[in-house]
Structure 1
């Protein structure tokens, strides 16, 4: 008798009672001391929509109906299904060194460790104070940079602080010199003049000239090097300036549409133009938001392609994810590894084609081999051991992820339409409205950072005052002393301004300055985007504390006066220590005999005094304690408590400041720093 081949369905819900969402909410609220579940667990995003504690299919009807939900989901799935299967994503590494030969050594080490995609920052400006891009003064330096690197198996993408057309001509000349099959080379020349203008605040030449030349490069790519895109829409500068996730996506789409229009107006078909654009987008620490953001990006690009009449067989949107620079900290830098891991996890599940993680020591001017190894191993583990890349769209079907995706996509589309209605991204950038948008969004976020509603581990929460930066011996970024090919007076001559002529001039050793003569000597300027990081304000306080330490041999000291029993003062003592440490202030606990309080204060030599206990003990002993402290010249007196309506009474008594969970932590710490002379 043959075995039965009938398939059985396993019901995971079998044996469990069906519970509706309203019943679940009712049960939860019974356990709450006060308020509703929405009051306690619902939050509002910076993008303006609420996040609830639980999502079900019923919620879908509330945010547009099931048909609308399926429309978003199907577009995202269609886009993700175009990606290669079972290969994960590209492990991309970037470099922050001015010497091409030094970068080349690092590249070879990384490729041996699993990296298969390179993000190369290049410049020709030896006078720049930013010493973090490889200096290329001729094709000889680019040859040093890529010496021994297989450009057929490892994708190469440039971040050109010189014109993309210049680095492209050098790269094409080098590939031809090596007799490489150009059809097998892939990556991007990184042309993004609008993004570079936003980041630097200037662009040599006219923007329209750059766009026209990069469009000519795109046409050349299609015929000669189809695996490389001419344009790469990079919104990391906007994200670093503080824009919300929806604003970031809207800016990306508006920039891409601008590039599409230019390419089409210069003779490319719409299908060809779409293939010549890739994207680089920042992903932060919020895993679900990161997943939804990348899914929303694909939905938006699909919507634009439909509107342009693009054929479905043009291939996937090339979406490169990068650690959000604003999330990294200079303090307790090991936590940056956790931030990067979260970003990588989100990017992988969100369907990124490549992921770039910054070394955790990057902000210290340190790019050690160990730090780079950790960034690539983080990705290797998630791809090869966790097998995250083997599932297409793992977030699909999750009502929470789908809700986030749809909200981000629709709000981004609205912002995108607003940008287009006012003339597009370039017009908005030159007018200063993009900068205003970024600053407004940053100020909104800064409020939560200042009052610690958005805590940063190792910075505003659980800071480590005893941290010692263990920098490897070869970590110092050298001043620009690398041996570069000098720009000679008898530079080559340009026989023409077309791209083929540029390749010829580059192959003969033409300098970037000579190749840039295709542009006029005008200069396009705008207000550069201001760079921000979430922990920057707290780090400034810590820097002040470090200077105090250098001058006096110890950090500012807060004497914590513990009143009552251990159970009375411990909660507020722990809170106060963590609070003060975020401002670089050390703490020392005193549990003195009331009769010997003055003697204890005199012996301890603190810079300020913090009183900690329960409200009950305060009502009994606070007035006497403050009077004794004042009589012995204790200086600044801080009370660990929310004074509420009693603030005037307590200030009249002699209390100078109050620290508690609901105050503006940064403002209070800054006042303390100024009062004790730390600022």
Structure 2
């Protein structure tokens, strides 16, 4: 039956499709009317066809297996331990603890967490003894620990090392030798996205960031964690993660590093809004979908109110339930390599990979990421990209519903702010200019908040 059905129709080439489209345009220019260019310089066509691939699209994706990760900021160990158990019972499959205090009792924190639950530890400090203690606990529990140590990310985000380049890298080398039961290296690529870098820059900077560790840490015998923020450009973001994984493996092979990277993805903060905040749930849903289809190993969703509310049960539950719906009702984890063979995504993946690799090579030819951070080149390039995007938002060409299009003038937020949702001025002496995360809607929201005060 299927053979008769498909033999019934003659194949149609891409040339025939284009001729028909040109005819339907009634004289309008095909390229000017239907082809648009992304901020990354990629020309997006109205259709893609298999005969445009010399050998057919490559099958290089991975299964859409992902864990639902819950972020937990550890302030009170007992309360955080209780919250961990509660979220696991309600659908979380992995945990990420942010620990700022070296005296935190990790054994008490994990006392009721099942040993087979993957656990991430985000540490904004660099302590050899603390990481060694985590390694001991991981061995005792036969547990999977991802300790997110990232001195280069500290330099990029804060403008200073933990101590200095030599001491920080020496600490990583000590940990690499002493700790065999944990994953200890992480690259914070989310910083570049949240600060306004375009997708090619995000991929290239993340890879150059990882390459600094390949060059400076003698023993990297565990997978490196890539922390990635996912934006709202649905298909481009799928292709971003696919291109990033492909290029990471290409670069890692040069160092005989035979481990695939481990990607933990979270929705971007850049397009999240204070007003009409429920729209944030729609944004994070598509961003989580892109992360899953792009091959993220773990997805930590962002609560709809995360930019202005402290962590709360309702926001966490909604964020977690979004992922539960995608996994258990939409079956996003049931299809192997779901984006493979989609001509559009394959073409985007290839072009993003080619452009990112070219930029990566340029960074390495000019001294590497750390050198370019010291010179201010990376910061300047990100700022240029962020400014272009900001101009599109300010002019209304880039739309955030409820903010710069169809705003609800009756929406009041001045009395609902538990957190300050804007860039904070923090004058201090830094070694390099820090890369600053900034949301697109900040200026407009500040104006609306000021107007609220006037009308009260």
Task: Give me the TM-score of the superposition, normalised by structure 2.
Answer: 0.90
Q: How many residues align?
A: 448
* CA distance in 2 between partners of 1:11 and 1:216 (Å): 66
Alignment partner of 2:391: what SS?
A: helix
User: Which of 276, 286, 305 pairs up with 2:252?
Assistant: 305
Alpha-carbon distance between aligned partners in 1 of 2:290 and 2:313, rounded to the nearest angstrom: 25
- 2:103 maps to 138
3-state SS of the aligned residue for 2:270? helix
Using the TM superposition, give the Cα deviation of residue 539 of structure 1 relative to its aligned residue in structure 2, in angstroms: 1.6
Task: Output one character per residue of 1:486-514: Cα deviation in whole Å (capped at 9) or x when no partner.
Answer: xxxxxxxxxxxxxxxxxxxxxxxxxxxxx
Q: Is the 8 A contact 1:116 1:153 kept in 2?
A: no
Q: How does 1:229-378 map to 2 (within 5 A)?
A: 229-264=183-218, 268=219, 273=220, 275-310=222-257, 314-378=258-322
* Matching residue of 2:128: 165
1:337-486 → structure 2 map (5 Å cutoff): 337-467=281-411, 476=418
Q: Which whole-Å CA distance do the structure 2 matches of 1:166 and 1:451 have between them? A: 52
Residue 297 of structure 1 and its aligned partner are, at CA, apart by 0.9
Measure, in 1, the Cα distance between the counterparts of 2:11 and 2:314. Answer: 52
Work out whether residues 47 and 245 of structure 1, in 8 Å CA contact, stay in contact via their aligned partners in 2: yes
Question: Partners of 1:137 and 1:306 in 2: how far apart?
Answer: 35
Map Cα deviations across residues 271-320 of structure 1 (whole Å, 9 max, x no partner). Answer: xx15242211111112211111111011101211333344xxx4432111
- The unaligned stretches of length 5 or more in structure 2 are 421-428
Other-structure match for 2:83 = 106
Equivalent-residue separation in structure 2 for 1:368 and 1:33 (angstroms): 56
Shift of 1:535: 1.8
1-structure distance, mates of 2:355, 2:321: 36
Contact 1:205–1:524, Cα closer than 8 Å, also in 2: no
Give the alignment's TM-score, normalised by structure 1: 0.62
CA distance in 2, matches of 1:90, 1:348: 10
Question: 1:236 Cα shift?
Answer: 1.2
5+ residue gaps, structure 1: 1-7, 61-65, 124-135, 479-522, 551-679
Q: Give 1:454 shift.
A: 1.2
Cα distance in 2, alignment partners of residues 374 and 293 from structure 1: 26
| CA-to-aligned-CA distance 1:445-494 (integer Å, 9 cap, x gap) | 1221121111111111221222356999xx9579xxxxxxxxxxxxxxxx
| Bigger Cα Rg | 1
Asked whether the equivalents of residues 132 and 179 of structure 2 are also in contact (C-alpha less than 8 Å), the reply is no
**Given the alignment, which residue of 543, 546, 565 partners 2:449?**
543
Q: 1:429 to 1:347 in 2, by over 3 A?
A: same
Q: 1:364 is paired with a residue of what secondary structure?
A: coil
Point out the more displaced range, 8-17 or 400-409: 8-17
In structure 2, the residue corresponding to 1:396 is in which secondary structure?
coil
Inter-partner Cα distance in structure 2 for 1:477 and 1:457? 22
Gap change, CA 1:165 and 1:40, over 3 Å in 2? farther
> Do the aligned partners of 2:307 and 2:419 also contact (CA within 8 Å) in 1?
no
Query: Structure 1 pair 117/17, CA: closer, same or farther in 2 (3 Å)?
Result: same
Q: Cα distance 1:34–1:531, how it changes in 2: closer, same or farther (>3 A)? A: farther
Structure 2 CA distance for partners of 1:477 and 1:21, relative to 1, 3 Å: closer
| Residues 263 and 296, structure 2, Cα contact 8 Å, conserved in 1 | yes
* Equivalent residue number for residue 193 of structure 1: 151
Are 2:434 and 1:528 aligned?
yes
Query: Residue 74 of structure 2 contacts residue 97 of structure 2 at CA under 8 Å; is this kept in 1?
Result: no
Distance 2:306 2:121 in 1: 19
Report the Cα distance in structure 2 between the residues aligned to 1:390 and 1:208, rounded to whole angstroms: 46
- Backbone CA RMSD of aligned residues: 2.7
The Cα of 1:172 is off from its aligned counterpart by 3.9
Q: Which has the higher contact order (CA 8 A, sep 6+)?
A: 2
Aligned 8 A contact 1:218 1:276 in 2: no
Q: CA deviation at 1:424?
A: 0.8
